[in-house]
Amino acid sequence: MKVGIPRALLFYYYYPLWKTFFEELGCEVVTSGNTTKELIDKGIKASVPEICVPIKILNGHVLELLDSGVDYVFIPRMMSIRKGEFFCPKFMGLPDMVRHSLPGAQGKVLYPKISSLSDDISDDALYLELGEALGVSHKQIKEALKEGREVWKKFRNKSKEGHTIAEAMDYVMTGKEPEKQEDCTITIGLMGYVYDVYDEFVSMGIVDKLKDMGVRVLTFEMMDEEMLDRELDFMKKRLFWTFSNKLLAAGYKFLKDKNIDGVIHVTAFGCGPDSLIGKLMEIDSIEYGKPFMTIRVDEHTGENHLLTRIEAFVDMIQRKKVKSLKEAE
Amino acid sequence: MKVAFPYMGTTVIYKKLLELLGHEVIEPPEPTQRTIDLGVKYSPEFACFPLKVVLGSYIEAVEMGAETIVTSGGHGPCRAGFYGETHKKILKNLGYDVDIIVFDAYKRDKMGTIKRVLKVKNGKSWITVWKAINVVYAMAKALDRIEKRIEKMRAYEVHKGECTKAWKTIKEWFDHDVKTIKDVEMTEMKSHKLLDEIKLVEVPEEEKIRIGIVGEIYVVMEQSINLRIEETLGNLGAEVERSQYLSEWIDYNIMPGAARKEHELYILKKGEKYIEEIIGGHAKQTVGHIVDYAERGFDGVIHLMPFACLPELVSQSIIPTIGKEHNIPVLTLSIDEQTGTANTLTRLEAFIDLIRNNKRTKTA
Ligand code: SF4
Ligand code: SF4
């Protein structure tokens, strides 16, 4: 049986878990290719105009998988991974949207309801409903998830050592150890959902570009979850959406941390939660006197333009740093 | 203590409740362009349109002397839950000395809710409070019955504008004349008599057009920002029914007792096939209501959503399928400060024309 996992949204956070899980159950796992212009165009055509870019991209990936003749596409209903918090409504309604708006999707979507108390979503109770479609037993599901959990933990731990998702993914899939980055004079905190930052098409490879400039990059998923969680203790009311809270927490940590020289927020066009986070950061970064820049990507942003802006930002930080070093002398 | 409330729909109801509790009530004016401009100017861009308008309305209330604003918090997992806090901050930054009492879902914060109730209770005895609630509840029910009647009649009035004028008069009556349940009954009777006098054109049953209005609660209920959709459709010759009425909202969100929740649960059930879970806002209700209208033989549905509303974008994505499967045309209008009247009006006219033509070919 062929199960397709779209290379979009939380693919970048949970793929090692889901891939292992399905393979342990004897399924063939197929992923869609990297996001391309054609793929986005397909997604745009299949989406309502006002919806955010990441959902349009997801639609493109799902269409590609359906075209490739998979038996099922895996689009879990992400409800919650923290008590009292939820996912952005578009995640919660995602399987509904896909089933009822993409041609050929009806009857082909596997969508277990994921509702858990932590980022670890490998509890077998959440996946039991898949037993029937996949023709596997409770016990098999449980065991497959155990394997999946282990791979996923390895993946997360690699991230937390300061490696990017791409590197951590590579590490658990092929065993390749990430290269050490040396001689960094500047560290930049990068705020952004994993599906924006690590989709090369959306972020235009911003992480690698920064690294090439000799910048060390820090993102929320490299940080300890509990530490992040405490970062927001000062807020009277946390946001409703967990991943937005993670970004915001990382953002505040970046603002306070003396070792971080600047903050970049990568956001895709049409994201409601991000507009809220972005505003908070914009105001508070001034208070902390930390350089802050927003990169908003839409379906048409040009690559050159982006590179110029990043270079200017890094330059500015460098000069600022040199200046303050001189002043300190 | 001078108390105000956010402006939404039939506001005499909130006003009455606060008055019966002995507060001096400041009624904010119906939102105008100025309200919207104020709201847009002082809200962060991320705020959804309804909350911008409400902020504008708060500012106007404060200008009129309001010292306290009573409101309900957001329901369901969405941005709205964040607004109470945001509004407080903004008003404070603007230098307005005003207290905002936000009633959140009782379950989330029991002690807090009780404290807030005591504040609003204003030292009145619980019996007074209970009586006030009952009067207001009866009034909400009565006003909704009357409004529903008007929404049907308007399509056929001989002299355009009569129904709207009568509705205004009726709301004034309720505002001035009602103190007890008995008053509610009397005033409702009087209102129906007033409506009886409006001359209507006879239209054969098979030519009648019935349109349901669904979507996010604020843009569905607040006529001043949704192009007065009910009047507009009425003038185009269509009967209208909204998916939301205040008394039903009270039934579902405030009044205890399972029976009162039945209607809402019934609607949610209807939406189940298309959106299985509550995903925030009113998305699931929206799809449920569309199915319900289709099954009840309505001719079309208008779906209203604030621009870029997260949950309503999910329903919007699914609506073409629902429309096809249930054979009912649905028009989505996304509402914000730029909703141009002329362009939208043309779309509405075209929509009604289409429905009328379909009907003719069907009957012919
Ligand atoms: S969080 Fe933002 S980008 Fe992600 S699905 Fe929701 S609106 Fe889209
Ligand atoms: S339901 Fe829509 S309008 Fe209401 S808070 Fe959520 S996004 Fe905003």
> What are the pLDDT digits (tens) for B338-350?
776 778 889 999 9
Check CB contact of A181 with chain B, cutoff 8 Å: no
Ligand 2 pocket test, pick from B45, B310, B332 with the greatest ligand atom count within 8 Å of Cβ, gives B310
Contact B8, B61 (CB under 8 A): no
Q: Which residue of B has its CA nearest to A92?
A: B279
CATH code for the structural domain at A182-328: 3.40.50
Interchain CB contact of A235 with B (< 8 Å): no
Same domain, B86 and B131: no
- Would you kindly state where each structural domain of chain A is located, as residue ranges? 2-160, 182-328
For residues B160 and B85, membership in a common domain is answered with: no
* Domain closes at, from B166, B184, B202: B202
- Mean local confidence (pLDDT), B251-261: 69
CATH number, position B8: 3.40.50
Contact A275 B321 (CB under 8 A): no
Give the distance from residue B321's alpha carbon to the nearest chain A alpha carbon, in angstroms. Answer: 6
Q: What is the pLDDT of residue B108?
A: 53
| pLDDT for the residue B80 | 62
Ligand 2 contacts CB of residue B306 (under 6 A): yes
Q: Residue B85's closest chain A neighbor by CA? A: A237
Same domain flag for B10 and B119: yes
Q: Is A90 on the interface with B (CB under 8 A)?
A: yes
Q: Which of B49, B312, B336 to mutate to test the pocket of ligand 2 (most atoms within 8 A of CB)?
A: B312
Q: Nearest ligand, CA of residue B310?
A: 2
Number of domains into which chain B is organized: 3
Kindly tell me if the per-residue pLDDT of B24 is higher than 60. yes
Q: Are B147 and B37 found together in one domain?
A: no
> Could you tell me the pLDDT band of residue B79, with boundaries at 50, 70 and 90?
low
User: What is the mean predicted confidence (pLDDT) over B143-161?
Assistant: 96
Contact by Cβ (8 Å): B274, B283: no
Distance from the first to the final alpha carbon of chain B: 64
pLDDT band of residue B104 (cuts 50, 70, 90) is low
Query: Average pLDDT for residues B215-219, to the nearest whole number?
Result: 91
B81 interaction partners in chain A (CB closer than 8 Å): 237, 240
B333 and B234 part of one domain? yes
Q: What is the pLDDT of residue B112?
A: 67
- Co-location of B151 and B65 in the same domain: no
B318 touches chain A (CB under 8 A): yes
| Average pLDDT of span A84-94 | 93
A45 touches chain B (CB under 8 A): no
Do B181 and B231 sit in the same domain of this protein? no
* Average pLDDT rounded to a whole number, residues A16-23: 98
Asked if A81 is an interface residue toward chain B (Cβ–Cβ < 8 A), one would say no
* CA B219 / ligand 2 centre spacing (Å): 11
Q: Per-residue pLDDT tens for A71-81?
A: 999 999 999 99
Q: Kindly tell me if the per-residue pLDDT of A59 is higher than 70.
A: yes
Domain containing residue B315: CATH number = 3.40.50.11900
**pLDDT the model gives residue A264:** 97
Confidence of residue B113 (pLDDT cuts 50, 70, 90): low
* ipTM greater than 0.85: yes
Q: In this structure, are B224 and B168 located in the same domain?
A: no
Q: Are residues B164 and B292 in the same domain?
A: no
Choose one of B202, B227, B245: the last residue of a domain: B202
A208 or B342: which carries more pLDDT confidence?
Answer: A208
Residue A56 has pLDDT above 60, yes or no: yes
Residues B80 and B182 in one domain: no
- Could you give the dihedral angle defined by the CA atoms of residues B2, B8, B12 and B13, in that order, rounded to the nearest 10 degrees? -90
Mean pLDDT of A273-295: 89
**What is the count of residue pairs from A and B with beta carbons less than 8 Å apart?**
89
Fold held by A2-160: Rossmann fold (3.40.50)
Whether the pLDDT of residue B360 is over 70: the answer is yes
The answer to whether the Cβ–Cβ distance between A240 and B79 falls below 8 Å is yes
Is the minimum CB–CB distance between A79 and chain B shorter than 8 Å?
yes
According to the model, what pLDDT value does residue A124 have? 96
Task: Reduce the secondary structure of chain B to three states and give it as a string.
Answer: CEEECCCCCCCHHHHHHHHHCCCEECCCCCCCHHHHHHHHHHCCCCCCHHHHHHHHHHHHHHHCCCCEEEEECCCCCCHHHHHHHHHHHHHHHCCCCCEEEEECCHHHCHHHHHHHHHHHHCCCCHHHHHHHHHHHHHHHHHHHHHHHHHHHHHHHECCCCHHHHHHHHHHHHHHHHCCCHHHHHHHHHHHHHHHHCCCECCCCHHHCEEEEEEECHHHHHCCCCCCCHHHHHHHCCEEEEECCCHHHHHHHHCCCCHHHHHHHHHHHHHHCCCCCCCCCCCHHHHHHHHHHHHHCCCCEEEEEEECCCHHHHHHHHHHHHHHHHHCCCEEEEEECCCCCHHHHHHHHHHHHHHHHHHHHHHHC
CA B223 to centroid of ligand 2, rounded, Å: 18
Average pLDDT over residues A262-270: 93
- Least confident range of A118-132, B75-89, B261-275: B75-89
Q: What is the full DSSP assignment across B322-364? A: HHHHHT--EEEEEESTT--HHHHHHHHHHHHHHHHHHHHHHH-
B6 vs B188, residue with greater confidence? B188
Single residue among B124, B158, B189 that ends a domain in this structure: B124
Can you give the residue range of the structural domain that contains B151? 126-202
Task: Classify residue A108 by its DSSP letter.
Answer: -
Least CB–CB distance from A89: residue in B81, B283, B321: B283
Model pLDDT, residue A327: 81
Give the pocket of ligand 1 (CB within 6 Å): A 52, 54-55, 88, 90-91, 193, 268, 271-274
Virtual torsion, Cα A273, A275, A276, A279, nearest 10 deg? 160
Residue B201 above 60 pLDDT? yes
How does residue B9 score in pLDDT terms, banded at 50, 70 and 90? confident
Mean pLDDT of B214-219: 92
**Domains A2-160 and A182-328 agree in fold:** yes
Q: Is the pLDDT of residue B150 over 60?
A: yes
Please write the tens of the pLDDT for every residue from A226-246: 999 999 888 877 888 899 999
| For residues A2-24, average pLDDT | 98
